[in-house]
Amino acid sequence: MIVNTPKKLWGGRFQLGTDRAVERYTSSVEFDQRLYRYDIEGSIVHCRMLAKQGILQPEEADKLVETLGQIRQEIDRGDFSFDSKLEDVHMNIEARLIDLLGPLGQKVHTARSRNDQIALDFRMYLRDASDRCVELLRDLRRALTAQAREQLDVILPGYTHMQRAQPVLLAHHLLAYVEMFGRDEERLKDCRKRINVFPLGSAALSGTPFDLDRLYAAETLEFDEVSRNSMDAVSDRDFVAEFLFDLSMIMVHVSRLSEELILWCTKEFDFVEMSDAHTTGSSIMPQKKNPDVAELARGKTGRVFGALVAVLTLLKGLPLTYNRDMQEDKEPTFDALDTVSSTLAVVTRVIQGLKFKRESMFEATGRGFLTATDLADYLVRKDMPFRRAHQTVGQMVQYAIEQGRELHELDLSEMKEFSKLIEDDVYDVLDVRRSLETRRVLGGTATERVADELGRIEETLKQPEEEES
C-alpha cells in the first residue's frame, strides 16, 4: 500500500499517496514557477484585504506579509527549491509559509482557491509581458524609422506578384513595416484591457461567503476592472488566446520582413548587405555569408502559431468551470513569449546593421517598364480613355520587349506609331524619379509625403512613450 506521506495540503480525504508517475504528470511547478513574483504579490494583497475586512487580525496579516516577502527573497536568490510533489507554484509557496509560520501560514488560503489564484497570477504576468512586447515593438519601429530617415532619397522598384511594378522610395517601403508593427502595438494595448480584469474573490467557482473587498484588492494590484461572474472568471482564458493571436500577427509581420531581407541580400537582388555581426558562415563553402537570423525568425513563426492553436484547441468544448486542461495554456504561452521577445530584439539589431545598396536599387528601376503606368496616365491627360491608353501602352511594351529596349529608349517617331498624342514631353514622364515624385496623394510615395509621415512617426516614437490621457 502506498502511504500518503508527506500529506498533501489537499490530502484530507485521501487514504493512499499519489503514484509517482501521476505526481510527475500533473505537476506544473517546473514551468509555472516563473509566476512566483505575481503569486506572492497577489497573496500579500489578499492578506492585507482579509485584515482590512476583519477576517484576519492585523498582526496576523503583518506576519504573513513579512514572511511572504522573505520567501520572495529566497526565490530571488535561488535559495528555494521547488518540489514537484507540491504540484504547482501556489502550493510550493504556501507549504513554505506553513513551514515558517505553522498554523498561521495555513490561514493564507482563506476565501481563495487555486482556480482564482492562477487566473490572477497569469493575468498579472501577461499584463507585464504585453507591456514588454510593446516596448520591443517600439524599438524595432525606431530602428526601421532611423533607416528610413537615412535612406530618404533612395529609390527601388516596388513589386506586385514579385514582378517589378512601379518605382518607390526605400523609406516608403520601410515605413510600411513601421505601420504593421504599429498596429501590432495597438492590438496588444487593446488586449491588455481584457487581460487587466481582477478575478480573485471568485474562489473555486461560485464566489465566497466571506465579506471580501474585491475593489480594494483590485485597485491595489492596479487592475482596471473586477470580474462580474465567478464562473467565467475561473474558466476564462480568451485573454490568453487573444494575446497569442497578437503575438502570431507580430510573427507574420516579422516573417515578411525577414523574407524580404533574405531575398534582398541574394546576388540576384543585391539590394542590401547585413553586418558580419549578424550573419553566419558555412562550414564548407568559404565564400558564404548567410542571413540566418532572418531565416530563423521566419522559421520560428510556426511555433508561435502552434501556441495559439494549442490554446484554442484546449479551450474548445470545455464545460464550465475550471478544468485541469487549462494548465496546458502556460507552456505554449511562455514559449511564444520567449520566442517573440528574442526575435524582436535580434531583428532590431539586424535592421540597425543593414547597409542598403542604393546604386543596385536604382539600377533595378531602369529595367522592367516601371513607368508604363505613367505613360498610360499621360495619354489619359490628353483625353484618351484609360482602358484604351492601357491597351496602347501594352502594345508599346510588347514592341519594346521585341526590340530589347526600354520605353525611354524608343524614338519619338516609333512612339508616334502607337499614338499621335505622344509628343517629346513624353520622356519626362518616363523618368523614374519624376514618376515617384508625382505620387503626392496622401499615403503615396512622393518624397514630400514620405517625409511628412516620417516626421509624424518620429514624433510618436519619442522616448518615453507619452502617457495617454
C-alpha distances out from residue 161 to 217, 371, 410, Å: 55, 17, 27
Q: How far is the CB of 204 from ligand ARG (least distance, A)?
A: 8
Is 121 among the residues that bind ligand ARG (CB under 6 A)?
no
Site string for ligand ARG, 101-120 (x = CB under 6 A): -------------xx--x--
Q: Is 88 or 185 the residue whose CB approaches ligand ARG more closely?
A: 88
Is 27 among the residues that bind ligand ARG (CB under 6 A)?
no
Q: How far is the CB of 228 from ligand ARG (least distance, A)?
A: 21
Q: How far is the CB of 24 from ligand ARG (least distance, A)?
A: 14
Catalytic annotation, pick one of 27, 90, 161, 413: 161
Is 327 among the residues that bind ligand ARG (CB under 6 A)?
yes
Q: Is 333 or 371 the residue whose CB approaches ligand ARG more closely?
A: 333
C-alpha distances out from residue 369 to 366, 406, 432, 444, Å: 8, 6, 10, 20
Q: How far is the CB of 216 from ligand ARG (least distance, A)?
A: 24
Pairing between β-strand 272-273 and β-strand 355-356 as defined by DSSP bridges: antiparallel
What grid cell was written down for 220? 491595489
Q: How far is the CB of 89 from ligand ARG (least distance, A)?
A: 8
Element (H, E) at 169: strand 163-169
Residues touching ligand ARG, count (CB under 6 A): 9
Whether 181 and 253 have beta carbons less than 8 Å apart is answered as yes
Which of 28, 67, 255, 279 touches ligand ARG (CB under 6 A)? Answer: 28
Q: Is 115 or 145 the residue whose CB approaches ligand ARG more closely?
A: 115
Q: Which stretch binds ligand ARG (CB under 6 A): 319-327, 409-417, 441-449, 451-459?
A: 319-327
Q: Is 279 or 327 the residue whose CB approaches ligand ARG more closely?
A: 327
Q: Is 90 or 141 the residue whose CB approaches ligand ARG more closely?
A: 90
Catalytic status, residue 161: yes
| β-sheet bridge partners, residue 272 | 356
Q: How far is the CB of 118 from ligand ARG (least distance, A)?
A: 4
Is 94 among the residues that bind ligand ARG (CB under 6 A)?
no
Q: Which of 263, 275, 255 is nearest to 157 (CA)?
A: 263
Which of 108, 251, 326, 430 touches ligand ARG (CB under 6 A)? Answer: 326
Q: Is 269 or 334 the residue whose CB approaches ligand ARG more closely?
A: 334
Secondary structure of residue 225 in the 3-state scheme: strand
Kindly tell me the burial class for residue 333, based on how many C-beta atoms sit within 10 Å of its own C-beta (0-12, 13-18, 19 or more). buried
Is 123 among the residues that bind ligand ARG (CB under 6 A)?
no
Q: Please state, in angstroms and rounded to a whole number, the distance separating the CA atoms of residues 106 and 95.
A: 9
Q: How far is the CB of 327 from ligand ARG (least distance, A)?
A: 4
Distance of CA 29 to the CA centre of its chain: 26
User: DSSP alpha helices (H): ranges in 102-237?
Assistant: 114-150, 170-195, 214-220, 230-235
Whether 125 and 240 have beta carbons less than 8 Å apart is answered as no
Distance of CA 218 to the CA centre of its chain: 27
Q: Please state, in angstroms and rounded to a whole number, the distance separating the CA atoms of residues 279 and 291.
A: 5
Q: Which stretch binds ligand ARG (CB under 6 A): 71-79, 179-187, 322-330, 413-421?
A: 322-330
Contacts by residues 271-277 (CB-CB < 8 Å, ≥ 24 positions apart): 271/156, 271/356, 271/357, 271/360, 271/361, 271/364, 272/354, 272/355, 272/356, 272/357, 273/354, 273/355, 273/357, 274/350, 274/353, 274/354, 275/350, 275/353, 275/354, 275/355, 277/353
Q: Is 327 or 447 the residue whose CB approaches ligand ARG more closely?
A: 327
Of 328-357, binders to ligand ARG (CB under 6 A) are: none
Q: How far is the CB of 208 from ligand ARG (least distance, A)?
A: 15
Q: How far is the CB of 334 from ligand ARG (least distance, A)?
A: 12
Q: Please state, in angstroms and rounded to a whole number, the distance separating the CA atoms of residues 42 and 40.
A: 5
Catalytic annotation, pick one of 206, 230, 258, 282: 282
Cβ–Cβ contacts within 10 Å for residue 219, how many? 14
Q: Is 257 or 326 the residue whose CB approaches ligand ARG more closely?
A: 326
Q: Which stretch binds ligand ARG (CB under 6 A): 140-148, 237-245, 321-329, 395-403?
A: 321-329
Which of 41, 88, 116, 184 touches ligand ARG (CB under 6 A)? Answer: 88
Q: Is 19 or 224 the residue whose CB approaches ligand ARG more closely?
A: 19
DSSP string for residues in 54-77: TSS-HHHHHHHHHHHHHHHHHHHH
Binding site for ligand ARG (CB under 6 A): 28, 32, 88, 114-115, 118, 324, 326-327
* Catalytic sites, residue numbers: 161, 282
